Amino acid sequence: MFRNKKHLFFDLDHTLWDYETSSDETLKELWKQYDLNAHGVQLNNFIEKFSEVNGQLWDRFHAGEIDKDVIRKDRFPTIFSELSVNDYSSTSDIQNDYIQVCPTKSYLIDGALELLESLKGRYELHIITNGFEEIQGTKLKSGGIGHFFDQVITSGMAGSQKPEREIFDYSLAKANANREDSLMIGDNPISDIQGAYLAGIDQVFYNPDGLECPITPTLEIKSMRELLTYL
């Protein structure tokens, strides 16, 4: 199906690097370290509320409503406020520790390493990520996958963010690639899939949770291993 492709552009978080597992483990460590149980915060509620608030903030970021500094500043204060912990003074410390610890986790999406090992040498592999520029390299190193990629393009580097067309145009130029011989692989229906579609790039929607997509992607898969049958 994609025999004419030469350049594969991957999203990082939730597509290759297992953000959910890494984040949950980090939150468990912080819950214990800061003795949040003593403040009436149950572990499961802490993790669930983080997922909810973090997801809402990133959705607003992808929509261009806020910048990344707002995510960092508002994330944990909002979590504690919604958990009815209004007198807690260590939110900034927890935020700083979260940013430092979470990227050091080595968890990858199931099948991602096998996929990259199979593709390396047959395609030029690249990353396009909206994640915080200073920590995406840590994730690639922690996951042991940095050596697979020729170009790692961040939104900070490109001066734009997915789904804006500019970051895709920047990435093509950086990789010396053409739209026709390129493929975008990602989990976010807006930033990865619709963004690539509007930039004229074929897309693979990694969609294990059955999310709705505003466009019909070139290909939709449920697992990373499934992609091997098309490349």
Predicted pLDDT of residue 131: 80
Q: Is the peptide bond before 163 cis (omega within 30 degrees of 0)?
A: yes
Please indicate, yes or no, whether residues 37 and 147 belong to a single structural domain of this protein.
no
Task: State the pTM of this model.
Answer: 0.93
CATH of the domain at 53: 1.10.150.240
Number of domains in the chain: 2
pLDDT digits 0-9 by tens, 7-51: 999 999 999 999 999 999 999 999 999 999 998 999 999 999 999
pLDDT at 67 over 90: no
The CA distance from 218 to 146, in Å, is 27
In three-state secondary structure terms, 62 is helix
Q: DSSP assignment, residue 229?
A: G
Q: In Å, what is the CA distance from 60 to each residue of 21, 50, 55, 65, 206?
A: 23, 15, 9, 5, 21
Asked, for residue 46, whether it belongs to a domain, the answer is: yes
Considering 104, 137, 172, which residue would you say is the last residue of a domain? 104
Asked, for residue 1, whether it belongs to a domain, the answer is: no
Please indicate, yes or no, whether residues 65 and 134 belong to a single structural domain of this protein.
no
The CA distance from 70 to 157, in Å, is 19
- Percentages helix, strand, coil for the chain, rounded to the nearest 5? 50, 15, 35
Listed in sequence order, the residues at least 6 apart from 67 whose beta carbon sits closer than 8 Å to its beta carbon are: 61
Please indicate, yes or no, whether residues 189 and 87 belong to a single structural domain of this protein.
no
Please indicate, yes or no, whether residues 24 and 13 belong to a single structural domain of this protein.
no
In three-state secondary structure terms, 203 is strand
pLDDT digits 0-9 by tens, 106-123: 999 999 999 999 999 999
The CA distance from 117 to 138, in Å, is 20
∠ CA 70-73-77 to the nearest 5 degrees? 120
Please indicate, yes or no, whether residues 82 and 186 belong to a single structural domain of this protein.
no
Predicted pLDDT of residue 88: 73
